[in-house]
Amino acid sequence: MDHPIAVIDFGSQYTQLIVRRIRELGYFSRLYQPSELRETGKPAAVILSGGPRSTLEPDAPDIDFDYLVELGVPVLGVCYGMQLLNTKFGGTVAPGNTREYGPATLMPEEGVKGIFDDLVGHSQIWMSHSDTVSELPEGCQVVGRNLDGVPVALKWNDRFFGIQFHPEVSHTKEGTQILRNFLNLATDLPEFAISSFKDELAARVRETVGDKRVVCGVSGGVDSSVLAALLHEAGVNTRNIFVDTGLLRKNEAAEVQSLFAEVGIEIETIDASKRFLEALKGESDPEQKRRIIGRLFVDVFFDAVGDDVELLAQGTLYPDVIESATSGSIASTIKTHHNRVDRIMELKAAGRVLEPLDELFKDEVRELGRVLGLPERVVGRHPFPGPGLAVRCPGEVTEEKLRIVREADDIFIGLLHEKNWYDTVWQAYAAIIPTKTVGVKGDERSYEYALSIRAVTSEDAMTAEWVHLPYELLGEISNRILNEVPGVNRVLYDISTKPPASIEWE
């Protein structure tokens, strides 16, 4: 898409959120590294993100300031970006006495128009910085201060602005309005709507594929289902492969087959459940389990499609692209089950991997699925890990553990649906605790597994909060699991946040 709003990434953990917020406002935005500024072409506006470094460091991240001025578009510096701009205009930055992290109050200067239009008096903002602006260059105007009178928003001229806080996080209550006000200073803003973007994506797929044949792995999850639906919409020659690893939820293989039959997309099913369980036998290290599953999945997949693959379609999303670019490698070091096999790497190097969703965030992919006609039970389903239930069976994966997790998870998710909690929760699941505890069943002592249930809310999986499910619902979930799932005599509710815990157990 032409003339995107360019977000320059200086390494902040919140940078992706800037892109998301702009798209939520209905405009197209992309993330670039500082060295890629000239590759943005003619952006409609530029935002310099925050970052963990200090502008005082000798090798601090920099920007081509002359070119930034030459672009002639509105520029907003956020946190590190504000400090960097202040130095470029001739001001100085100094170490702060303490690191300021958390909520603060913004007091816009009276009579100031522009990025603080339509704010309601004082406004809560979110800080995360250690350095502070010490001297302002000539002509710079303070447009906002905190309660201590310290400048937290600057205006160097009619096009360059800086704010010391993060407008992209939800803790900054009027952050979206501030971003909207900034974008109002721009012209030729690139509008963005999934309903119209769908046709552009389908056209790109047709142009890229031509008369080649595409192979696509489907799992029934949101990303691969939307990918298969987009390929179907584009009308290209596609072979969809569904590998049943035996690590899926209760009745999931049959549900996947039913789904694709319902929407008229043909898939081939390969039952490799015995191979996966045998390969995992005796292994308890979580990273090794992921590697085993990832490698075997690729082996099974290519056994089916052969080595002569013209194009391989993958459901890579924009956060995966950003993560890969930031880490400097094609594959995420966190998700070791993705893209770490030589065969896929060879195809990627040869330009034979098709990733048509790689400019979209998860919520945008869900909306694309709706536009493509996929049922809500697919596009609205909770995330499910690539290695499947193996990550919810800490220690060795056994048939008994998988049975317990499947049955308990089915009860848990079923009750969330029944009690109208499923759509409120971002992700929920049951995980076995790899230890047995003493209990009493009937007139006898039992020695069976403990089970954890977990439900979280999140926006992007970077952070997560546990859901305050009603005690009555938790009690019903526990009672049904204890009464209906043999091998369990204790149910616990996981109330850990991320960080320090992760969302999944492994």
- Does domain 5-183 fall under CATH 3.40.50.2000? My reply is no
Contacts of 197 (CB under 8 A, 6+ apart): 368
This prediction's pTM: 0.78
Q: How many other CB atoms are found less than 10 A from the CB of residue 285? A: 12
The full length of the chain comes to: 506
Q: In angstroms, what CA-CA distances link 105 with 191, 482, 498?
A: 32, 49, 26
Give span(s): CATH 3.40.50.880, the chain: 5-183
pLDDT digits (tens, 9 = 90+) for 337-369: 444 457 778 888 888 999 999 888 888 899 999
Cα dihedral across residues 99, 37, 20, 124: positive or negative: positive
Q: What is the pLDDT of residue 96?
A: 65
Q: What is the pLDDT of residue 98?
A: 55
pLDDT digits (tens, 9 = 90+) for 217-236: 998 889 999 999 999 999 99
Strand partners of residue 454: 429
Per-residue pLDDT, averaged over 271-275, amounts to 96
The mean predicted confidence, pLDDT, of the chain is 89
More confident site: 332 or 11: 11
For residue 163, the SS3 value is strand
Grade residue 132 by pLDDT with cuts at 50, 70 and 90: confident
| C-alpha–C-alpha distance, residues 31 and 358, integer Å | 12
Give span(s): CATH 3.40.50.620, the chain: 194-379
Half-sphere exposure for 363 (CA within 13 Å, toward CB): 12
Give span(s): CATH 3.30.300.10, the chain: 398-493
Q: What is the pLDDT of residue 126?
A: 84
Break the chain down into helix, strand, coil percent, rounded to 5. Answer: 35, 25, 40
Instruction: Write out the CATH class of domain 398-493.
Output: alpha beta
| C-alpha–C-alpha distance, residues 411 and 14, integer Å | 36
Strands 488-493 and 444-457: parallel
> Is residue 495 within 8 Å of 466, Cβ to Cβ?
yes
| C-alpha–C-alpha distance, residues 398 and 450, integer Å | 16
Residue 403 has pLDDT above 60, yes or no: yes
Grade residue 326 by pLDDT with cuts at 50, 70 and 90: very low
Residue type, 420: N
Q: Please give the CATH number for the structural domain made up of 194-379.
A: 3.40.50.620
Q: What is the pLDDT of residue 206?
A: 96
| C-alpha–C-alpha distance, residues 165 and 184, integer Å | 20
Active-site positions read 79, 166, 168
Calculate helix-pair angle for 362-371, 194-209, nearest 10 degrees. Answer: 90
> Is residue 292 within 8 Å of 255, Cβ to Cβ?
no
Render the burial of 425-441: b for 16+ CB within 10 Å, e for the rest. bbbbbbbbbeeeeeeee
The single residue listed with the structure tokens 């979280």 is: 456
Residue type, 401: K
